[in-house]
Amino acid sequence: MQKESQLLELQQIVVEQKAALLKVVETIKEEGVSNYPILWMYSGEALPNLGLYLGELAAGVWQHGATTLEELYTKGIIEAEKIDNFRALYNHKGGHFCVLMMSLEQTELVFLPYSLVKNEN
């Protein structure tokens, strides 16, 4: 139940922050930093030492930022033998935000489709 509640909360945050999050993802790709940008959302006290810190969300319940596949590999979070599978999944999920959701209880990679997020036009 905790996991479902966190996923729903995460979806709501992405809905509210779609424009800003999309800009971050697009900038990482356009500037040639990585073809595999990953947003991270963290619920806990100490901040993860990952990529770019973007600030607090949901009245400080979540911290968020952006990282890349390459950084996750360099820091030993993703193992070398899993990189090709990750790339295939990431490419298959085009049109999705890739979010590394972290809390004290769990760490999970989720893909949230842009289409579930309201259009701001």
What share of the chain has pLDDT > 70, as a percent? 92
The mean pLDDT of 92-121, rounded to a whole number, is: 77
Q: Which pTM does this prediction carry? A: 0.84
Where do the DSSP E strands lie in 3-95? 37-43, 52-57, 62-68
pLDDT at 116 over 70: no
65's CB contacts (< 8 A; 6+ apart) are: 39, 40, 48, 50, 51, 52, 53, 54
Note the pLDDT of residue 120: 47
For residue 115, the one-letter residue type is: S
Could you tell me if 34 and 25 are in contact, meaning their C-beta atoms sit under 8 angstroms apart? no
Ramachandran area for residue 112 (φ above 0: left; ψ -120 to 50: alpha; else beta): beta
Q: What is the pLDDT of residues 53-69, one digit of tens each?
A: 988 877 777 888 999 99
Could you tell me if 10 and 41 are in contact, meaning their C-beta atoms sit under 8 angstroms apart? yes
Q: What is the pLDDT of residues 37-57, one digit of tens each?
A: 999 988 877 778 888 898 887
